[in-house]
Amino acid sequence: MLFDDDPAMKETIVSVLVPVAVPRAYTYRVPAGVSVVPGTIVKVPLGPREVLGAVWDGEPDAGINSNKLKVISRVYETARPLDEELRRFIDWVANWTLSPPGMVLRMVLRSEEALEDEPPISGVRRRKGQMPERMTPARQKVLDVTENGVAWTKSSLAQAAGVSTSVIDGLLQQEVLESVALPAVAPSPAPQVEFAQTKLTPAQQVASDGLVASFGKGAAVSLIDGVTGSGKTEVYFEAIAEALRRGHQALVLLPEIALTEQFLRRFEKRFGVYPAEWHSEITPKKRGRVWRGVASGDVRVVIGARSALFLPFADLGLIIVDEEHDGAFKQDDRVPYNARDMSVVRGHLSRFPVVLASATPSVESRVNADLGRYQRFELPERASGAALPDLKAIDMRQNGPSRGRWIAPELFQAMKEAFADGAQSLLFLNRRGYAPLTLCRTCGHRFQCPHCSSWLVEHRFQKRLVCHHCGHNESVPKACPSCNTVDSLVACGPGVERIAEEVENLFPDARTLILSSDLPGGPERLRREMKIVEDGGADIVIGTQLVAKGHNFPKMRLVGVIDADLGLAHGDPRAAEKTFQLLAQVTGRAGRVTGGGKGFLQTYSPDHPVLKALMSQDRDAFYNAEIEARRATGLPPFGRLAALVISGPDKLATEGYARALARGAPNEAAVTLLGPAEAALAMIRGRYRFRLLLMAPRQFDLQAYIRQWLDNGPKATKGLRVQVDVDPQHF
C-alpha cells in the first residue's frame, strides 16, 4: 500500500471531539484545500445527524481505512479556535468527573447560533454634496440630523428627525442619502478601572492589597472570609480592576441569578459600565453575543451562573466565586461538577488567581486556608460599622404553634416594633408552596407524586398540587380521591404561602411580599421584587432560601426563622455545616447598614450545637468542631468520597444490578464501600434509585479505581444507568 507514504493523505485526517457521550474523539477527514488546527470548531456527520465538534489534540486513529472516514462538513472559520488552555480544562474536568469529554465540550459549544456573526443591519448615511430636488421642512430635518455624516438605521433616523420613514426613502431614491451596512452588535464599552473607587476600610484594604499582589505569580487561591455585610464585593472589585489593568478578562460566578441584578448595578457604580451576564434566563440571541464577545475579547467582565466557567475566554486572568459555600455551584446531572472546585482547577491550569468569598466558607475551603494552600483574608467587621445581629432562640416547646399560627408571640412582638419604626422584617422558611403535605381528614389519604417518592405540595396561588422533584402537578380535587368525602382535605404544616397568609392576618396594613423561585411571573418578577425590597417598598418579606444568598437589603432589621430545625433533620453528615451556613446567611441580612439587627430562631432543640454556635457568634468554634469531626471520621476534605447512583425503571432489577456491581468492586484495602441503599429520594421521574458510597484516603486515586471497576463490572442493560458523582454534596 502506498497509503502511508502519501503525505497529503496523512495531513488530512484529524481527531474531532463531538458533544455526545462517547469515550474519545473520533477520526474525520478534512476536505481538500481546508486547513484546521487543534481547537477549530467544525461540523461533522455523526450517524444520521450533523453535530458541532472541535478538532482535538492527539494522533487520529491511524488504523481506520481512510476511504471509509466521514468528511468534516463545515469549518467555522470566523469562530476563534478553542485554545490550548480551554482544551486541557475540558479534558481535566472530564477526567475528574469521569464524564465523556464530549459531554464537557457540550457545555462549551452550547449553540450553533453563537458561532456565527450576526449579519450586518442596513443603515443610511448622508452623501456629501447631494441636495434634494425640492426642499421640504421634513427633508430639512433629516439633513440637519445627518449633517455630521454619522450612519443611522432608518427607524432611528426617522425618530431622531421626527419624520416618517417615507421621507427617508425619498431621500435615498434621490441619492441624498446612501445605504450602508452597520455592524449588528456595537462593541461593548470597556469598564473604567478608576471610575469610582470606594474608600476601603483598613481590613478591606489589607485584603484588597493582598489580592492585587497575587497577580503575576501563577496560580494562587485566596479565601475572603468576611462576616455578612463586611464588604467582600468591594474587595474583590479591586482584584477585578487589577485583572483589567493587566489586560485580562475576569469572571464572577454567583450561585443565584436573582442576585445578578443588584450585582450589575454595583458593578456599574464602580466601573461605569455593566458587565456581560450569563445564565439560563438570557435570550439565545444575547447568549450568542456574549459567547462571541468573550471569545473575541471584546467582553472584559462576565458575571454568571456556574455554566459561565465554560465560556471560551480569549484571555481569562481572574475568577471570583462569590458565596463559594453554596450548593448551587454543584451541577448534579449530566457532568456532575462543582464550579467552585473547577474554578480553582481552571486557575491552576492557566496560572491565574482565583478568589473565593463567603461569610460562611465551606469546611473544605476553611481547611485549605488553615493548611496554607489558600491565602486567607479576614473581614471580621461589617463595612458600615454596624454590629452583627443579636440572635435569640425561641423555644417552640413552650411556644408551640396553636391552630394555624406559626409565628411565636415573641417574634410577632418584635415584628410589630420593627413595623412601627418603619424597618423591614424577613421571615424565612425553606419550604415553597402553601403546605408540605395535604391529607384527607376522613380516611388519611395523602397525595403522592405518581413518578417520585415524594408528597405533592399545595400551591394556593396556582391552585395546584405540585411535585418539587419532577414538576408533576394536578388540580386540588373537591373530594378525596380515595374515600370521596367532599371538602375533607387539610393542609399540614406551613410553606411560605401559608406564613404569608398568617402575616396578612396579623399585619393587615403592612406591605408583604413573598420571595420564592416558583411564583408566577418567573425570574423577571423575582428581580423586580428584589429591587422593591432593596428600595424599602415592602415591610414584611417572606422568603425561601433564595433570600439567604448575599442580598443587601439596607432597611432590613429583623429576621425570623420559622423552623430552624428543618435542615438538621437530615441524616447527612453535612447537615450541620449546611444549616449553620444557611442560618448565619439569612440572619446576616438583618441590620447590615443601619445596625440594630435582630434575629429570632424558632426551634424545638435550642441546645443543638449548631444553634448554640450561631447564637454565640463563635464561627471559629463551630468550624473547629466540625473540622475535627470530619478528621476523626475521614470525611472530606480529609478523605475522598464518590457516589454511584444506579437507576432504572424496575425496582428489583435496579437493586439487583446495584448489588451485582457492589460484589464486583475490586478488592482494595484503601476503599470502603457502603451500600447499595435506597437513595434519599428513592424514586424520581419513574426511575428507582440506589446508591453506593465510596470512601478513600485523600491521596487515593478514586477515579482510576472507579474506572477500572466500571470497565470490568457487569454491564448496565434494560434502561439501567450508573451515574458517578465524585465529591458528592450529600454524604
The C-alpha atoms of residue 229 and residue 219 are separated, in whole angstroms, by 28
CB of 446 to Zn ion, least distance (A): 14
Coil, strand or helix: which one is 156? helix
User: Residue 226 or 636: which CB sits closer to ligand ADP?
Assistant: 226
Q: What sections of 556-650 are H helices per DSSP?
A: 575-587, 609-615, 619-633
Count how many residues are written for the chain. 731
Q: Which of 614, 613, 612 is nearest to 599 (CA)?
A: 614
What would the grid cell of residue 365 be? 475551603
The item of Zn ion, ligand ADP, none sharing an interface with residue 228, based on CB under 5 to 8 Å by kind, is ligand ADP
**Backbone dihedral angles phi then psi of residue 514, each to the nearest 5 degrees:** -100, 130
589 contributes a contact to ligand ADP by CB under 6 A: no
Q: Which stretch binds ligand ADP (CB under 6 A): 145-153, 229-237, 654-662, 697-705?
A: 229-237
Question: Out of ligand ADP, Zn ion, none, which partner does residue 198 contact, by CB within 5 to 8 A per kind?
Answer: ligand ADP
Among ligand ADP, Zn ion, none, the one that 234 touches (CB under a kind-dependent 5 to 8 A) is ligand ADP
492 in a known ligand binding site? no
Closer residue to Zn ion (CB): 348 or 469: 469
Q: Which is nearer to ligand ADP, 90 or 251 (CB)?
A: 251
**Sheet of strand 249-253, all strands in order from the earlier edge strand to the far edge:** 276-278, 301-304, 249-253, 316-322, 353-358, 220-226, 375-379
Residue number, 94 or 200, with CB nearest to ligand ADP: 200
Of 107, 57, 46, the C-alpha closest to 81 is 57
Nearer to ligand ADP, 548 or 724 (CB): 548
- Site residues for ligand ADP, window 343-382 (CB under 6 A)? 359
* Other C-beta atoms lying within 10 Å of the C-beta of residue 581: 24
Nearer to Zn ion by Cβ, of 452 and 562: the residue is 452
Compare residues 95 and 552 and give the one whose CB is closer to ligand ADP. Answer: 552
What are the Cα distances from residue 540, in Å, to 484, 503, 531, 559?
40, 8, 14, 10
Pick the piece of the chain touching ligand ADP (CB under 6 A) from 55-63, 221-229, 498-506, 660-668.
221-229
Kindly state the number of chain residues that form the binding site for Zn ion, as judged by CB under 5 A: 7
Minimum Å gap between C-beta 595 and ligand ADP is: 12
Nearest CA to 396 among 548, 560, 541? Answer: 560
Rounded to a whole number of angstroms, the minimum distance from the CB of residue 681 to Zn ion is 9
706 neighbors 642 (Cβ within 8 angstroms): yes
Q: Which are the contacts of 659, defined by CB distance < 8 A and separation ≥ 6?
A: 676
Does 467 carry a binding-site annotation?
A: yes
Q: What is the DSSP pairing of strand 687-697 with strand 639-648?
A: antiparallel
C-alpha cell at 339: 464550579
Which of 12, 15, 99, 201 lies at the binding interface for ligand ADP (CB under 6 A)?
201
Compute the half-sphere exposure of residue 154: CA atoms within 13 Å on the CB side of its CA: 13
For ligand ADP, the binding residue among 99, 233, 579, 585 (CB under 6 A) is 233
253 binds, among Zn ion, ligand ADP, none (CB under 5 to 8 A by kind): none
Among 128, 134, 199, 397, binds ligand ADP (CB under 6 A): 199
Could you give the C-alpha distances from 188 to 197, 273, 274, 275, 282, in angstroms and in order? 21, 9, 9, 9, 17
Site for ligand ADP, residues 239 to 298, rule: CB under 6 A: none
Closer residue to ligand ADP in complex, CB, 233/430: 233
From residue 480, how far is each of 404, 443, 451, 462, 489 by CA, in Å? 22, 9, 20, 19, 7
Residue number closest to ligand ADP, CB atom: 231
Give the x/- contact pattern for ligand ADP in 379-398, rule: CB under 6 A.
----xx--------------
Helices assigned H by DSSP within 326-479: 339-350, 363-370, 396-399, 409-420
Contacts (CB under 5 A) with Zn ion, residues 458-497: 467, 469-470, 472
Per CB under 5 A, which region of 122-130, 443-451, 489-497, 508-516 contacts Zn ion? 443-451
State the DSSP code for 335: S
* Candidate segments 114-122, 192-200, 392-400, 527-535, binder of ligand ADP by CB under 6 A: 192-200
* 440 assigned to a ligand binding site: yes
Q: Is 594 in the site for ligand ADP (CB under 6 A)?
A: no
Rg (CA), the chain: 30
Query: How many angstroms separate the CA atoms of 130 and 142, rounded?
Result: 13
230 binds ligand ADP (CB under 6 A): yes
675 belongs to the binding site for ligand ADP (CB under 6 A): no
Residue list, annotated binding site for Zn(2+): 440, 443, 449, 452, 467, 470, 480, 483
Residue list, annotated binding site: 440, 443, 449, 452, 467, 470, 480, 483
- Site residues (CB under 6 A) for ligand ADP? 198-201, 204, 226, 228-234, 359, 383-384, 550, 552, 592-593
- Site residues (CB under 5 A) for Zn ion? 449, 451-452, 467, 469-470, 472
